[in-house]
Chains A and B, each alone.
Chain A
Amino acid sequence: MSEHEHIVTPTGTYVATFVALLILTALTYLAAIHDFGWMNTPIALAIALLKASFVVIFFMGVRYNTPLTKVVVITGFCWLFILFGLTLNDYLTRPWLGVPGR
């Protein structure tokens, strides 16, 4: 093991991540049973994104991966937002124009 020592995450970090995920799940439920109007979905998505980040960073150990892997992970989600963004750009703006015959 001369060249490298891989970093072993302490068990406590995993357990803390686990507890945080359970608390955030409870929070998702509590947020959902309150009526925040249009804010309900953004709140639910924000919590889900936070949970997903915890899983990616701690459970999947991306924080210890090479910069190249980190770039691939981040761009992976960027492609997803390009898909969502460009598709919604179409669907959400369709009613803006008065299309003859519709």
Chain B
Amino acid sequence: MASSSTPLETGAQGHAHNPNLQHHFYSMSQQLEASTLGMWVFLVTEIMFFGGMFMAYIVYRITYPEAWVLGSHHLNVGLGALNTGVLICSSLTMALAVRSAQVSSRKGQIVNLILTIVFGATFLVVKFFEYKEKFEHHLVPGPHFDMTLPDAGQQQLFFSLYFMLTGVHAAHMIVGIGLMLVILTMAIRGRFSSEYYTPVEISGLYWHFVDIVWIFLFPLLYLLGAHLAAHGG
């Protein structure tokens, strides 16, 4: 909050100390840079985590291309596209929330963080209805899978990867919403200002990362059969 902060930026001289500056850092900017770097190192491990599942997707898609198109054809492109839009909106509001903190706007932070949470929750609600539809149509791998489908065993493999990839992604969304609730509480208490906004910044990095995963999931899962649908195939 602008009102509670005094112009403090200490260097080697160390005259004044921002209470948010931890003693092992030299300055507020170094603290922010170190935190950003640390968050990116974590995100690289996340890239590799999702990368393993994408790798499985690639290998099986190369092995069973027809089953992948058939499986993809069962997914609801409209809902997938809607969720892509919802996540892009949430990324915009997240970026604006970080910006609000940078310019010490408490109101901007609160409004944008609430919008981010609302968009994130909307995504999960849409995802719930998609999953529900898959259960009703017997497309969930297991004893109730519709084995009358062509290439049923291979399609089951597609749906295993679909549920694993989107399920782990949804779990990341839930964690992200929890994180945003914490950041929102801190923002309401006026913890962030242009002097100190590191938690908003690095939580934002996480949120955008989850958006990036979906950017790849949408075409790779939903759109494989789209050209068949458009030509009545």
Q: How far is the CB of A20 from chain B (nearest CB, A)?
A: 10
Question: Are A29 and B33 in contact, CB atoms less than 8 angstroms apart?
Answer: no
Q: Which residue of B has the minimal Cβ distance to A10? A: B99
Question: Are B102 and A55 in contact, CB atoms less than 8 angstroms apart?
Answer: no
Question: Are A28 and B96 in contact, CB atoms less than 8 angstroms apart?
Answer: no
**A22 CA to B43 CA in the complex, in Å?**
24
**A75 CA to B77 CA in the complex, in Å?**
33
Q: Which of B27-43 contact A (CB under 8 A)?
A: 27, 29, 32-33, 36-37, 40-41, 43
Q: How far is the CB of A24 from chain B (nearest CB, A)?
A: 9
Main secondary structure, interface of B, reads helix
Task: Please judge, given known A-B contacts A33-B226, A73-B40, whether A3 and B11 are in contact too, CB under 8 Å.
Answer: yes
In this complex, the member of B9, B27, B51 whose beta carbon has the largest number of chain A beta carbons within 10 angstroms is B51
Interface size class of B (residues with CB under 8 A): 35 or more
Render A1-14 as a binary contact track against B, CB cut-off 8 A, 1 for contact. 11110101101001
Question: Are B223 and A28 in contact, CB atoms less than 8 angstroms apart?
Answer: yes
Question: Are A48 and B219 in contact, CB atoms less than 8 angstroms apart?
Answer: yes
For B77, give its contact among A6, A29, A55 (CB under 8 Å).
Answer: A29
Question: Are A48 and B216 in contact, CB atoms less than 8 angstroms apart?
Answer: yes
B-side contacts of A18, CB under 8 Å = 88-89, 91-92
Main secondary structure, interface of A, reads helix
Render A53-83 as a binary contact track against B, CB cut-off 8 A, 1 for contact. 0011011110001101100110111011001
Question: Are B85 and A60 in contact, CB atoms less than 8 angstroms apart?
Answer: no
Interface size class of A (residues with CB under 8 A): 35 or more
A-side contacts of B99, CB under 8 Å = 8-9, 11, 14
A-side contacts of B137, CB under 8 Å = none
Render B89-127 as a binary contact track against A, CB cut-off 8 A, 1 for contact. 101101110110011000000000000000000000000
B149 within 8 A of A: no
Question: Are A33 and B44 in contact, CB atoms less than 8 angstroms apart?
Answer: no
Q: Which of A24-54 contact B (CB under 8 A)?
A: 25, 28-29, 32-36, 40, 44-45, 47-48, 51-52
A residues contacting B by CB (< 8 A) are: 1-4, 6, 8-9, 11, 14-15, 17-18, 21-22, 25, 28-29, 32-36, 40, 44-45, 47-48, 51-52, 55-56, 58-61, 65-66, 68-69, 72-73, 75-77, 79-80, 83-84, 87-88, 91-92
8 closest A-B pairs (Cβ-Cβ)?
A76-B44, A32-B223, A44-B219, A33-B230, A32-B226, A18-B92, A35-B227, A59-B95
9 additional contacts (CB under 8 A) given A3-B9, A55-B212: A9-B99, A25-B218, A29-B77, A34-B227, A45-B216, A48-B218, A60-B209, A69-B37, A76-B47
